[in-house]
Amino acid sequence: MALDTRTGRRPSFAATLWGSTVGKKTVMAVSGLIMLLYLVVHMIGNLKIFFGAAEFNQYAHWLRVVGEPFMHEEWTLWLVRVVLLAAVVAHATSAYQLSRRGIRARPGTYVHRKPRSSYATRTMRWGGIILGLFLVWHLLDLTTGTVHAGFRPGHPYQNVVDTFSTWYGNVIYLVAMLALGLHIRHGFWSAAQTLGVGSRARDRALKTTANALALVLTVGFVSVPVAVMTGVVS
């Protein structure tokens, strides 16, 4: 292991791992799977809106008190938020640095063009940007109420209905969820390859799982604004 020229010390294992392409891909894969697990749970929670305002509001309240009395009110919720924030930052940082590393390693011209990649692969970068911007808007809209006119703290059901009663709320959410579906479709399979789960024998099963996850999550999340727009939820 080479010495760090700035400190004269051998770099730590974590620093060496993070400095390598394999390490960054591993961080990207693990952080992506953490966020995917959260999305599955979040989607299931969102679907409670179909059981009425009382049950949805009760679920939102439960999120704030889960773990009591061992955990103080909102401690568990904030713990989840911190883990998710760390996953988002790690995922975005590793993706950006891998992208820059790939650009620097790319020769100026190609003698032969590579075969065209799938639509999901070619839009991963823009999809990530769209999802990052959506996350900021989503928090300001339904968590803090900063960009939500008429936001009512403690009334999550009504706040959701209000958001999806506006054309811009629906457009922003639907575009983001379509980007999410494409991101998951490629990202899940890519993470499996990075973590050594993929193989020729499992390739078809992994791609089928990735497609199924992308479809279920997209439909699950999109069903809420569609239900509001059609009057199923009001």
Q: How confident is the model at residue 10 (pLDDT cuts 50, 70, 90)?
A: confident
Comparing 53 with 115, the larger pLDDT belongs to 53
* Range 187-215 average pLDDT: 87
183 close to 128: Cβ distance less than 8 angstroms: yes
Amino acid identity for residue 10 in this structure:
R
How far apart are the C-alpha atoms of 34 and 108, rounded to whole Å? 37
**What percentage of residues in the chain have a pLDDT greater than 70?**
88
Q: Is the Cα dihedral 48, 51, 55, 57 positive or negative?
A: positive
Question: What's the chain's average pLDDT?
Answer: 87
Q: Is the Cα dihedral 5, 101, 188, 163 positive or negative?
A: positive
Amino acid identity for residue 81 in this structure:
R
For residue range 14-44, what is the model confidence (pLDDT) as tens digits?
A: 788 788 888 889 999 999 999 999 999 999 9
Amino acid identity for residue 88 in this structure:
V
For residue range 176-195, what is the model confidence (pLDDT) as tens digits?
A: 999 999 999 989 988 988 88
For residue range 110-158, what is the model confidence (pLDDT) as tens digits?
A: 444 544 555 555 677 888 899 999 999 999 999 999 999 889 999 999 9
Phi-psi domain of 8 (left: phi exceeds 0; alpha: psi -120 through 50; beta: other): left
The predicted structure's pLDDT at residue 111: 47
Instruction: Please count the other Cβ atoms lying within 10 Å of the Cβ belonging to residue 151.
Output: 18
Q: How confident is the model at residue 94 (pLDDT cuts 50, 70, 90)?
A: very high
How far apart are the C-alpha atoms of 187 and 174, rounded to whole Å? 19
Q: Which residues contact 94 (CB under 8 A, 6 or more apart)?
A: 24, 25, 27, 28, 31
Q: How confident is the model at residue 108 (pLDDT cuts 50, 70, 90)?
A: low
Residue 204 has phi, psi (to 5 degrees) of: -65, -40
* Range 197-203 average pLDDT: 76
74 close to 64: Cβ distance less than 8 angstroms: yes
The predicted structure's pLDDT at residue 29: 93
The predicted structure's pLDDT at residue 59: 96
227 close to 233: Cβ distance less than 8 angstroms: yes
Note the Cα 146 to chain centre separation in Å: 22
- DSSP letters, 2-46, are PPPTTTSSPPPHHHHHHHSHHHHHHHHHHHHHHHHHHHHHHHHHH
Q: Residue for token digits 């992994």?
A: 206
Q: How confident is the model at residue 204 (pLDDT cuts 50, 70, 90)?
A: confident
Phi-psi domain of 196 (left: phi exceeds 0; alpha: psi -120 through 50; beta: other): left
